[in-house]
């Protein structure tokens, strides 16, 4: 069981589905689920809007020892990512931005990478049948609720990663850190095992000591 997955009546179903998924290759198509639009309180809307709006260049500020660890993560993750992103510059920019946005949201790097692999197979312009967009398959209604309303911006790399990470952090907090329900809520399939197991199966392939 994942260390952050809480105990509950879903555990047996979750583990059985995970075992079944363990030997399966994940699909290249965007995941067919969709985040569900929910009413946000004024305080939550304001907090999420502020988190989205804060701007800063995705440049890690690290000590000398941290730089070495970061370089190791970058090399290991870049090697694996090359099957989806063959261009060195694109891959470097993506990983640098993902590091920044995941850290900023207090998320595991491997969790975000596993989610993106599952959601879009690292396709910048992926669109699901429900209209979710980009790497993290963010639904356009989020740009109306906490952004400037420009759904096209979800095809911009840093914007998509920022929205996705902020939304995932929000949903995990709503579920008190429970990955099963938090990931299910992100996908719009809360309480069903297939999606969280797919993400956690993918996550295991991205785990690094820096995580």
Q: What is the pLDDT, as a whole number, of residue 187?
A: 92
Give pLDDT tens digits along the chain (211 positions).
Answer: 333 444 344 434 443 434 333 333 333 456 656 777 888 888 888 988 988 887 766 777 788 888 888 999 999 999 999 999 999 999 999 999 999 999 999 999 999 999 999 999 999 999 998 899 999 999 999 999 999 999 999 999 999 999 999 999 999 999 999 999 999 999 999 999 999 999 999 999 999 888 8
Q: What is the pLDDT, as a whole number, of residue 199?
A: 97
Q: What is the pLDDT, as a whole number, of residue 41?
A: 83
pTM of the model: 0.82
141: CB partners within 8 A, 6+ apart: 37
40-53+64-188+197-204 CATH pick, 1.10.530.10, 3.40.50.11540, 3.30.1220.10, 1.20.140.10: 1.10.530.10
Q: 36 with 130: CB under 8 angstroms?
A: no
CA–CA dist 107, 112 (Å, integer): 7
**Each residue's pLDDT tens digit, 77-115:** 999 999 999 999 999 999 999 999 999 999 999 999 999
Q: 26 with 118: CB under 8 angstroms?
A: yes
Looking at the DSSP bridge assignments, the partners of residue 141 are: none
Domain range summary for the chain, segments of one domain joined by +:
40-53+64-188+197-204
Q: What is the pLDDT, as a whole number, of residue 56?
A: 67
- Gap between the terminal Cα atoms of the chain: 17
Cβ count within 10 A of residue 121: 18
Which tokens hold the place of 23? 């030997």
């Amino acid at each position: 069981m994942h260390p952050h997955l809480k105990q509950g009546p879903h555990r047996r179903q979750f583990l059985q589905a995970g075992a079944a998924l363990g030997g399966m290759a994940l699909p290249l198509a965007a995941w067919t689920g969709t985040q569900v639009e929910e009413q946000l309180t004024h305080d939550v809307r304001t907090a999420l809007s502020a988190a989205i709006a804060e701007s800063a260049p995705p440049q890690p500020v690290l000590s000398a020892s941290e730089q070495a660890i970061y370089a190791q993560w970058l090399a290991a993750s870049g090697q694996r990512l090359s099957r989806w992103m063959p261009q060195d510059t694109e891959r470097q920019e993506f990983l640098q931005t993902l590091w920044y946005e995941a850290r900023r949201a207090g998320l595991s790097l491997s969790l975000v990478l596993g989610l993106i692999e599952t959601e879009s197979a690292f396709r910048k312009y992926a669109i699901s049948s429900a209209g979710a967009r980009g790497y993290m398959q963010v639904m356009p209604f989020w740009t109306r609720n906490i952004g400037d309303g420009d759904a096209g911006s979800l095809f911009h790399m840093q914007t998509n990663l920022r929205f996705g990470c902020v939304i995932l952090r929000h949903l995990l907090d709503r579920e008190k850190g429970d990955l099963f329900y938090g990931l299910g809520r992100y996908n719009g399939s809360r309480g069903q095992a297939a999606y969280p197991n797919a993400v956690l199966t993918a996550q295991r392939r991205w785990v690094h000591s820096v995580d």
